Amino acid sequence: MRFILIILCISISNKVFTQNILELGRANSFKTMSFYEGESLRFKKSNEDYFITARISGITDDKIKFNNIEIPVSDIDVIDVREKSSNFMRRFGTYFSGASAGYFLIDFINLSVVQKASAADVYDDKILIGCSVGIGLGFGLRQIKRKYFKRKKLNRIWIQEPL
């Protein structure tokens, strides 16, 4: 009896607190990006040339509600995902440039302090060029980030309903 009562309470409360979710993803991947009610969404409609920024106030079966307007999901062509996308390349670029600067610093300290080399021997052109390229490459990798989710080929935009 208790078991049935617990299952009944869980199933009722599950439907009370659930909401529809706007999801973006590829057809052949399990990774998705989700947008909930109350979040800000920057998007471009398929027949317009500019982006629109609005706060999601509701998500129905096939439309997204913004303050006073409803837009069908099928009309949305591009969504700005800079805030939602992974920052793997940003972290990797930071680590890469930090490792290059650290290698240069360790080599400089090793030659000047530990081995007590002269000032002319401390500056090795090959190490200086290699570390400079590493630092520049790391800062370049920091700039690579997924900015827009375009509806094309396998990219899909859909509304996920609660189970």
Write out pLDDT tens, residues 14-57: 555 567 888 888 888 788 888 888 888 889 988 888 988 889 88
Which stretches of the chain score pLDDT less than 50?
A: none
Residue 134's pLDDT is 92
Residue 98's pLDDT is 94
Residue 18's pLDDT is 64
Residue 102's pLDDT is 93
Half-sphere CA count of 22, side-chain side, radius 13 A: 29
Residue 12's pLDDT is 65
Residue 13's pLDDT is 55
The answer for 38, left when phi > 0, alpha when psi is -120 to 50, beta otherwise, is left
Residue 29's pLDDT is 79
Domain ranges of the chain: 17-85+147-160, 88-142
Beta bridge partners of 69: 66
pTM of the model: 0.60
The number of residues in the chain equals 163
Give per-residue burial for 66-88: e unless 16+ CB within 10 Å, then b: beeeebebeebbbbbbeeebeee
